[in-house]
Amino acid sequence: MDRVGSFNVLLATVVCSVLFACGIWLMGGSSSHEMAAPVVVNASAKHTATVIFLHGLGDTGHGWSQMFASVKQPHIKYVCPTAKDIPVTLNGGMRMPSWFDLKGLDPNSNEDAAGIESASKLLQSLISEEEKHGIPASRIVVGGFSQGGAVALYSALTNNKNLGGVVALSTWLPLHKTFPGAIKGNTDTPIFQAHGEADPLVQPTFGAMTAQLLAAINKKHIFKTYPGMGHSSCDKEMSEAKKFIDDCLPAI
Residue numbers annotated as active site = 146, 199, 231
Q: Of 83, 88, 99, which is closest to residue 33 (Cα–Cα)?
A: 83
> How many Å apart are CA 128 and CA 104, to the nearest integer?
33
* Distances in whole angstroms, Cα of residue 242 to Cα of each of 62, 125, 239: 18, 24, 5
Say what the alpha-carbon torsion angle 238, 169, 125, 242 is, to the nearest 10 degrees.
Answer: 20
Q: Which residues of 158-179 are buried (b: 16+ CB within 10 A; e: fewer)?
A: bbebebbbbbbbbbbbbbbeeb
Tell me the one-letter amino acid at 102.
L
C-beta of residue 144 within 8 angstroms of C-beta of residue 69: no
C-beta of residue 190 within 8 angstroms of C-beta of residue 183: no
> How many Å apart are CA 224 and CA 135, to the nearest integer?
29
Helix, strand, or coil here: 61? helix
Q: Residue 31 gets which letter from DSSP? A: S
For the chain, helix (H) and strand (E) counts, in that order, are: 6, 9
